[in-house]
Amino acid sequence: MEKIEMICINCPLGCSLTVERNGEDFKVSGNTCPRGAKYAVEELTHPVRTLTTTVALANREGRYVNVKTSKPISKEKLFEAMEIVNATKAVAPIKIGDVIVENMLGEADLVAAADVD
């Protein structure tokens, strides 16, 4: 049996989790709520992250729009996602929630996280 220690990053409480892994069986302790157990198992089987970053504006020199993925994407695809972000230019005006890149890497839309006039 393998024993893994980790911190839950789902809320500011930051519970210290202990995961006992036996093949595909997981026993999680130290979590204050069920989200911690779900996070621990996901982190060990298919880790995901919400990407938050900025995209340059094509028609506002030197300005950017805050963006994020519409849902968490595979952690292993974050660098590939950033290559797409860096090659993308958005066009203002933009409203929060506007899709900047549709279905990025087949995982999630990249959406505006702020308005830009």
The amino acid that residue 17 corresponds to is L
* 10 near ligand SF4, judged by CB under 6 A: yes
Which tokens sit at 91? 């066009």
32 versus 86: smaller Cβ distance to ligand SF4: 32
CB 39 within 8 A of CB 26: no
* 19 near ligand SF4, judged by CB under 6 A: no
- Distance between CA atoms of 18 and 7, rounded to whole angstroms? 9
Residues 24-63, mask of contacts with ligand SF4 (x by CB under 6 A) = -------xxx-xx---------------------------
- Distance between CA atoms of 28 and 40, rounded to whole angstroms? 7
For ligand SF4, the binding residue among 1, 3, 5, 11 (CB under 6 A) is 11
Give residues 64-103 in contact with ligand SF4 (rule: CB under 6 A): none
